[in-house]
Amino acid sequence: MQDSADPVATAPPLRRLDRRVALVTGGGSGAGAAIARRCAAMGASVVVADIDFALAGEVAASIRGTGGGALAHRCDVAAEEQVAALIDRVTREFGGLDLVFNVAGPWLSGDPLAHWSRIVSANLLGTMHVTRQAIEVLKRRGGAIVNVAADAGLGFGAEDRPAYCAAKAGIVRLTAALCYLKDKKIRVNCIAPDMIGEVEDFAAVAVGLALREDFAGRVVLYRNGRASELVDFGDPGFRQSQPL
């Protein structure tokens, strides 16, 4: 169980998200679904995007069933034209966008070239597509993007999956490179889990990170059952970290 005193999840205190709009890719199951439900519970209208429309529909329906506002949208984030259509629908249906969670990103067993292409396309290019399209909307009133990487992209964990490690490392560096957007009131940060046990705990940290107005271009290492840590970019291989 994630420590309830985790500084990323609790500082600043979580505020209501009434009249805010959140987009969650990979929102049809697991951590993505938990993030979508948490945003909705805090008052946000939520767009649940997933390559599996049935799963996205179930999550959106469960949010509406509790009185929240939500819609489901099928999207393969590796296809930029589908991402553009997704962002267009978000703005048409809800009038804007405030929070983006890039959770979509599979890993596949085996080493065929098709797997490498799919892994990099869905994880890295998918995150880039959503981020690039969302930035143009977020410029209107500011907001936050949280990219989900993995500890493997920081030199920890499953280093026997090179395509996955490379894609997640790319997400980390993409996040850091977008730090300059804080001048436009857009905060892009990244959370890199080792594993996700209790999805609700992970969702609390991810949403808390989105609301950290003092963070931009930062990477948070999420270790299941332990307090989250800010990654020290000065360390070769990103193996050192500091308590928040």
Residue showing tokens 């594993």: 195
To which H or E segment does residue 229 belong? Answer: strand 229-231
Given the residues 94, 101, 107, 164, the one annotated as active site:
164
Active-site residue flag, 180:
no
Q: What are the Cα distances from residue 169, in Å, to 111, 147, 149, 193?
A: 19, 12, 7, 13
65: exposed, middle or buried (C-beta count within 10 Å: 0-12, 13-18, 19+)?
Answer: exposed
Cβ–Cβ under 8 Å, residues 220 and 228: yes
Q: What's the rounded Cα separation, in Å, for the pair 69 and 40?
A: 7
Catalytic center residues: 164
